[in-house]
Amino acid sequence: MREWKRIDDNEHCGMCGKKLARGAAVLVITIDGLKRKKFRCEECSGLQAPPDLPPVIERSPMTKPMQPLKRAIPRDFKIAQGNNK
């Protein structure tokens, strides 16, 4: 599948190796069944990026408040099981 997107991280074009800055409009190529994405700059794709691409959405890092462990991890599993022979 090919679609135009604004990338949320710095990438490189897969054809010419040009550095693509975060927020740049690039052609993203995905293949069904594969997680890897290919990026193409406007020059290599031979197409014009649509001017109405949505901007990159800032995502804050997921943070969870710290909580105490419910059960402490035993120092030695043999002693914890009573098989210390």
Contact residues for Zn ion, defined by CB under 5 A: 13, 15-16, 18, 41, 44
For Zn ion, the closer of residues 6 and 18 by Cβ is 18
Q: What is the DSSP letter of 84?
A: -
Closest to Zn ion by CB, 18 or 38: 18
Distances (CA, A) of 38 to 43, 50, 57, 85: 15, 18, 21, 57
Q: Shortest Cβ distance from residue 2 to Zn ion (Å)? A: 14
- Alpha helices per DSSP H over 1-85: 42-45, 77-81
Question: Rounded to the nearest whole angstrom, what is the least distance from the CB of residue 35 to Zn ion in the complex?
Answer: 22
In whole angstroms, the minimum distance from the beta carbon of 51 to Zn ion comes to 19
Task: Tell me if 39 sits within 8 A of 11, measured CB to CB.
Answer: yes
Instruction: Using the minimum distance from each CB to Zn ion, give the nearer residue, 24 or 41.
Output: 41
